[in-house]
Amino acid sequence: MREIIFDTETTGIDPRQGHRMVEIGCVELVDRMPTGETFHAYYNPERDMPAEAEAIHGLSAQFLADKPRFADEVDTFLDFVGDDKLVAHNAGFDFAFLNAELELCAREPICLSRKIDTLEMARRKNPGGKHSLDALCTRYGVDRSHRVFHGALLDAELLAQVYIELTGGRQIAMGLLAAEEENSASTIAVAAPLAASADRPPRPPRPHSASAAELARHTAFLERISRPIWNR
Is the pLDDT at 177 greater than 50? The verdict is no
CB atoms within 10 A of CB 192: 6
Catalytic residue annotation = 150
Query: What's phi and psi for 184, nearest 5 deg?
Result: -85, 160
Distance separating alpha carbons of residues 29 and 5, to the nearest angstrom = 7
Distance separating alpha carbons of residues 135 and 123, to the nearest angstrom = 12
Is the pLDDT at 174 greater than 50? The verdict is no
The pLDDT of residue 122 is 94
The pLDDT of residue 121 is 95
Distance separating alpha carbons of residues 57 and 12, to the nearest angstrom = 11
The pLDDT of residue 171 is 52
Residue 62 Cα to chain centre, angstroms: 34
Is the pLDDT at 11 greater than 60? The verdict is yes
* 100 or 197, greater pLDDT: 100
DSSP state of 4: E
CB atoms within 10 A of CB 184: 10
Q: Region 55-77: what's the mean pLDDT? A: 95
Residue 115 Cα to chain centre, angstroms: 15
Strongest mean pLDDT among 17-26, 135-144, 208-217: 17-26
* 211 or 108, greater pLDDT: 108
As to burial, measured by CB atoms within 10 angstroms (0-12 exposed, 13-18 middle, 19+ buried), residue 136 is buried
Residue type, 78: L
Distance separating alpha carbons of residues 57 and 102, to the nearest angstrom = 22
Residue 61 Cα to chain centre, angstroms: 32
The pLDDT of residue 200 is 59
Q: What percent of the chain has pLDDT over 90?
A: 62
Is the pLDDT at 107 greater than 80? The verdict is yes
The pLDDT of residue 147 is 65
Domains in the chain, CATH or no CATH each: 2-174 (3.30.420.10)
**Any idea how long the chain is?**
232
DSSP per-residue codes, 39-71: EEEE---SS---HHHHHHH---HHHHTTSPPHH
The pLDDT of residue 232 is 64
Please state, rounded to an integer, the average pLDDT across all residues of the chain: 84
The pLDDT of residue 75 is 96
